[in-house]
Structure 1
């Protein structure tokens, strides 16, 4: 009975409303005729449906236009932009002019569902009402063809989130059309326009009887005539006495290029020291972003110039234009009348004209750093930074660097050598800086970076601790970086929080984005990791190619293969080991195995044996995926032999991969003795290592994985000692795989004891599960007789083949087992279906397995295991 009446409105909800109108639709139908118009509108509807799915929109109503509801304002804007672009493409194909006008607003709405009876006779399933709806309608009515108008609240929320649109978001045009009044609405509305270059009119809307400009009294026609007469003379006087001071358009977090210091004093000591002092002083700002030296050298290379080219006005301006910097800063130091003057010019890179100058004069060399502080602060205010921010976020240079100019010069030379990869020379310069000023914290950081870069973490730690001792003499940004980096080197669980804290204050710290991404990616928190990669995938990041690769890795594990392939090939990354391997993974998942193998074998050798071993992991997984067992054995044999030239962990890693394959192809009685012997060696080595040592956490995870492998073979004898030795590492390490594998092993103990409820509680599904966590969950559900749930997990495993190839846990040691298990999932599903008396369905799953792994090529034990899955009458298959 209740279905005869509509449901009551729900509690008001904050939503984004988008109203659109297809311009001149009636004339369009008349011109095309009914049949052609119907065909066009079918294509139009397909476009709308695709965009709804892409931008998570809900279509509420439609006629000549659309009314859509969105959870987030940026999704509404993305829909409007893509809809505008899609209509333009649709019209171009048919030599038609298709334009849409759109209004976007954010406000509270009431929603309720109509009854089934009402819907059957033509009512909409969902009703939306509230002041936000007519407000969006007013905006749409005001818009010109091809124009998207936004309310002030929608503009604020979308402008702030525009980075989520990628590179397109950086090229959007935003324009205010002033204050307007809407009929029936007492408050004044600020209206904005947004659009893409060349695809938006950027013209003021035309007033209508229901919406008009809010013009103050002094701007009405009668008043303007009088005002014009009175102000004409004043304007002439102003023009006569001087023009307005030139300025440069600059917004918070825009980028600048710092040119080379012009040293007119003749004192060479000031060359490198003041150059670095300017950078350190400006880098204290949260308002201004400096293009890094590394990025500048990279751009010089793309300009076919030497990396050592002098950054004068012309060269620095060209770099700024190429890399999207808004301004160039040119510092100068000169001796004038026996005093030292520090000057800085603010240059518009488009015209190379100086638009502002600041200078400060002091007596003697001891005044120079204070002068740099003064002109830097004045320049930051000129660019728009609030004076309170300048005062609060900055400390005098002698307090955050050194008062010794010789020490500062040595530090600057050390940074230059670091950028060139000359580690020995860099370390020497940093040591000289410390000798001149034993409390020079940045110099200690410099030595620690050099030692860490040369894989000597143990030697780097004392210098890192020394820098922490003098952390009060570091700029705020470097202090936060040092804290996060120290946690990183010590493998502390606090490292991720440290990088996130740095990003809260300095959102454009690309190093912090990169490190935060890696922590989250290793944790299988892919949705959380992606924004960090997107934020670093920008022209100002000197390591942009890494961010591009990171985005591709997310798409790979999510199974978005075409998008992943686009990322890996976007800027010729395929000749590099990491992106080249991942491109091969994509090709394998697309069934292009020969092309994938060719890609892996074409990866150039490096000078590091450990790095050269990694593509072999992908090659073994590739052969396993195809069921080419003889080639798997051959590749494994070659890899085991080659690993003897690498480090101990790499040898252990390939030993585990070999055991993973043997666990599939041989009876447990032949595998377990070798597994116990391998694990005994690793346990002895693990008991000798200290936290923070290279591969310590990875080896602990590998030991846990070996105990889990034994549990899969029905043996729990290794678990107790494994948990005693490797378990504590899960509490102290930043590696999230340790905790997950720890739960898997604990659950395996419970499963083998028949304590299924406790085991299932440990393995409750989570979004960040390892693929092997789901395998362990399947095995437990199957053992517990929970066949329906077990089947769900078997299907999940088989569907997540991108995760199997791309998961980074345990330095990729689980990749071969993961890939094999996505094939074995068919056998597990068949086993479960058979126990549910669904034998035909089970038989189809076995056929699917044999299509991927031909029966004739299977090792005898594996073939017998698979055939035993079905009843005897159905088991023999070829």
Structure 2
């Protein structure tokens, strides 16, 4: 049964020359491209609230509002250009946008199972949008006369970009099969859009002679559009403000008219907690609002009143402002709130609730926010399901609530020590305050004190029924990190899926997937965190850059790191250096690393790897030693993980004893930490196995045996997919060194899933090289040479394997020369040997590397 006619925005797109594209690049490359294309479409659907109806080479999408369809089209064109640049391709799409009535109906489940679309869309609006799309030039977005004014009026919702759009009338056009001509418009960004009229075709041509269209016809078209759009606005259901699911609100500063200062911060925080329980309404964080104040060149302590909050809403793409007030009226405490349209600053809705005494304010806030959420369009069932009473999920102690509110403000400023003191004060005032215990967990983890986070985590777990649903899921995910790391990632993904605008959920899901080298899966979660509403968008861009670098998308990675740096995340400078180093732009990488402060221990990690990449062993030892001196006296994870790059530098420099000593120290420290029950279990297990792998290269099997025996006692921990993979690599290496390369290959092959770790491929190359299938070893050698971005940025045990990965990216060239030489391809072997000599000159080689190079017999350049 079809639904009645509905007024909708239709967007039709077509990927230009897609067939010839597949022929040019091949099926395999095309499949990878289209997978990333589908990820882009999914992200934009979520961002612009679109519904994908049909697709082949093009797409048909429905939107509630024209501005959402336009936002999708603009971002889609930008995204295609970025995808194309990463592959040296030109990707463009044509798009047509129209507003009109459509009929929709759902196909039966049986029909869907047999291949039918879930939803069918028909109506005259559909062929109109199709005609617009078909006549557009590559990269061009064409709008009908109905869609253009609606989208143009709402362009400010696109933020600063909306101010730079060019709106161009293309005049009247006639379409084959339609008796009346139509006004057509183009909108686009300078430098991206063609911004010129499409060519005439047999199906669409410019209606230049004015006498062929009476003036009355123009009036009729305008009148029909006005009546249709007006009827839509008149008959659409509440809310009166154009608010949709997952739209944003700005909470203005609480107006406290009671004279009781304890209510200032406490009730404002309570208002936020109550609203944040909604999965329909998103609340702009206080930190993001203060950041926008800075961009407005206003003091961070400026009061967010009606006018200021409205300006912030317009700048940050929020649809509404909520202005809360608490006052004494007739001897009772009244909590009220207004929903304000930021465009007009007019009050759209107002709700209030009265109670006796200050303690009644929390229950009143629940009543007020529940009513406002309903007015904004949230279903009553959802409000009841997703919300718990404020006194239950916070505290009835207003002093404790105020301490928590001040702690939250300190935390978002990055003052973690101050935040921890305030969270502790809150739990001292009310030991049942679960949110404050969870705050202590966050403050400890953010201060790199994960082991100290265990006690408050356990307290929060005993009080988890006093947490809002979202925070309860957040707690469960952190508990899994400590108790069952193999299950933690699924918890983060579940949290990010249910609350797609909850930045910690997305960030930890992206980080977990990135750690497991599931890079393509990590990308959408990371991109979500680059939202302009995210106060930590800079970190989001940094994670996007790391994922892109791991995917060898150098230009896109550099762009992401640039965005992170512009937004103030200075750590991205050393990631930018990794992008340059992976492409062997060593001078540029060194300049970027030179900007890091002398006490930035992490920069020494990249400096060590950069020196190893160039065959400068003494420099690598010097940089690694500087890092260890900075960490001297500390017992945290960094103090033990930084032993690994130092050991690799010693190994390459020919100092076996020093390398073995550092590897052994790293192993012993990580196993001791693991046995003590610290919060770095996954990292410590990975570090211990990394030390064992280096020990095998140093002809010492004792470390490997000790590590395997120790980790056998941590059965649950070793179910973590990447730890079990690393253990398999360790065992395969032992088999290869024991003269059983075939058995080693049998262990390693199932690990090659597309998400495998860099050292898994190294081990597979060596296992093949030691057996009869040397041609396959050559394939692995080429893979290792091509994945230098992954070598530099791969996560796990604090990037403790970065130096070894980078070294192996060069040693893979030497192995290539050896394999070609063994196969009788002396010309190919000579070329590979010459390439290796340019990377690591013969005079720089030590120990068995020098012997291996000399055995090839080709003169060094």
* Shared fold per TM-score greater than 0.5: yes
Change in Cα spacing, 1:504 to 1:45, as seen in structure 2 (3 Å) is closer
* C-alpha deviation, 1:365, in angstroms: 3.3
Shift of 1:71: 9.0
Contact 1:55 1:79 (C-alpha < 8 Å) held by counterparts: no
1:785 pairs, out of 747, 751, 772, with 772
Check whether the contact 2:247–2:319 (CA below 8 A) recurs between aligned residues.
yes
Provide TM-score, normalisation by structure 1.
0.73
SS at match of 2:565: coil
Q: Determine if contact 2:646/2:659 at 8 Å carries over to the other structure.
A: no
Give the Cα separation in 1 of the matches to 2:419 and 2:79.
54
Aligned-partner Cα distance in 2 for 1:660–1:99 = 49
- 1:299 is aligned, of 289, 292, 304, to 292
Cα distance in structure 2, aligned partners of 1:632 and 1:433: 48
Residue 267 (1) aligns with residue 254 (2):
no
Aligned partner of 2:613 among 625, 631, 645 = 625
Aligned to 1:587: 580
The C-alpha deviation readout for 1:761-813, integer Å capped at 9, x for no partner, is 22112211111111100111111121111111111111111111111222122
* 1:12-51 alignment, distance < 5 Å: none
Partner of 1:809: 796
**Counterpart residue number, 1:178:** none
- The alignment's C-alpha RMSD in Å is 4.8
Q: Secondary structure at the match of 1:569?
A: helix
- Is the contact between residue 771 and residue 797 of structure 1 (CA under 8 Å) also seen in structure 2? yes
Distance 1:830 1:45, change over 3 A: closer
Alignment of 1:525-674 (within 5 A): 525-573=518-566, 578-605=571-598, 612-644=600-632, 646-647=634-635, 649-666=637-654, 671=656
Cross-structure match for 1:350:
343
Matches within 5 A, 1:187-336: 247-336=240-329
Distance 1:769 1:683 in 2: 26
Which whole-Å CA distance do the structure 2 matches of 1:308 and 1:274 have between them? 18
Deviation of 1:49 after TM superposition, in Å, equals 7.7
CA distance in 2, matches of 1:134, 1:844: 64
- State the alpha-carbon separation in 1 of the partners of residues 597 and 332 from structure 2: 58
Unaligned regions of 5+ residues in structure 1, if any? 1-15, 22-41, 58-66, 87-97, 109-130, 151-164, 174-182, 185-192, 202-207, 211-224, 607-611
| 1:823 aligned residue (810, 834, 839) | 810
SS in 1 for 2:323: strand
Normalised TM-score (structure 2)? 0.74
Q: Aligned pair in 2 of structure 1 residues 697, 687: CA closer, same or farther (>3 Å)?
A: same
Q: In structure 2, do the counterparts of structure 1 residues 455 and 321 end up closer, same or farther at CA, with 3 Å as the change threshold?
A: same
For 1:520 and 1:545, the matched residues in 2 are separated by: 19
Q: In the TM superposition, what is the alpha-carbon distance from 1:559 to its structure 2 partner?
A: 1.8
How far off its partner does 1:531 sit? 0.5
The Cα shift of 1:274 comes to 1.8
1:448 shift after superposition: 3.3
Q: Show the counterpart of 2:664.
A: 679
Q: Once structures 1 and 2 are overlaid, which stretch shifts more, 732-741 or 274-283?
A: 732-741
The answer to which of 746-755 and 821-830 deviates more is 746-755
**Is the 1:259–1:312 Cα contact (8 Å) retained in structure 2?**
yes
Q: How many Å apart are 1:424 and its aligned residue?
A: 5.8
8 Å CA contact 2:617–2:653 kept in 1: the answer is no
Distance apart, 1:72 and its partner CA: 7.5
What secondary structure is seen at the aligned counterpart in 2 of 1:493? helix
**1:712 and 2:705 are equivalent in the alignment:** no
| Deviations 1:806-860, CA, capped at 9 Å, x for gaps | 1122212211111111111111111111221212211111011112222244346
1:106-145 correspondence to structure 2 within 5 Å: 140-141=130-131
Q: Which moved more, 1:295-304 or 1:257-266?
A: 295-304
In the TM superposition, residue 451 of structure 1 has moved relative to its aligned partner by 3.8
Which SS does the other structure have where 2:280 is aligned? coil
Taking structure 1 as reference, are residues 132 and 195 closer, same or farther at Cα in structure 2, changes over 3 Å only? farther
1:489 Cα deviation after fit: 4.7
CA contact (8 A) 1:143 1:149 kept: yes
Give the whole-Å Cα distance in 2 for the aligned partners of 1:341 and 1:648: 51
**Residue 103 to residue 440, structure 1, CA distance change in 2 (3 Å):** closer
Task: State the secondary structure of the residue aligned to 2:485.
Answer: coil
- Distance change (3 Å), C-alpha of 1:822 and 1:319: same
1:748 to 733, 737, 746: 733
- 1:399-418 matches, cutoff 5 A: 399-418=392-411
**1:571 Cα deviation after fit:** 4.9
CA deviation vs aligned residue, 1:701-752 (integer Å, no higher than 9, x gap): 2221232223335554433222111354574169654322211111112222
Larger Rg: 1
Q: Secondary structure at the match of 2:336?
A: strand
Q: Cα offset for 1:524?
A: 0.9
Name the CA distance, whole Å, in 1 between partners of 2:785 and 2:334. Answer: 71
Task: Note the C-alpha offset of 1:394.
Answer: 1.4
Is residue 471 of structure 1 aligned with residue 454 of structure 2? no
Q: Any unmatched runs of 5+ in structure 2?
A: 1-10, 36-53, 63-68, 82-91, 107-119, 144-157, 167-175, 178-184, 196-201, 205-219
Q: Secondary structure at the match of 1:343?
A: strand
Q: Tell me the residue number matched to 2:858.
A: 875
- Alignment of 1:398 with 2:396, yes or no, is no
Instruction: After TM superposition, give the deviation of residue 683 of structure 1 in Å.
Output: 2.6
Equivalents in 2 of 1:209, 1:795: separation in Å?
51
1:340 counterpart SS class: strand
Q: 2:819 aligns with which of 832, 838, 850?
A: 832
SS of the residue corresponding to residue 482 of structure 1 reads helix
Aligned to 1:762: 747
Report 1:111-190 matches (<5 A).
Answer: 140-141=130-131, 146=136
State the alpha-carbon separation in 1 of the partners of residues 134 and 59 from structure 2: 25
Matches of 2:539 and 2:812 in 1, distance apart? Answer: 33
Q: Counterparts of 1:482-521 in structure 2 under 5 Å?
A: 482-490=475-483, 492-521=485-514
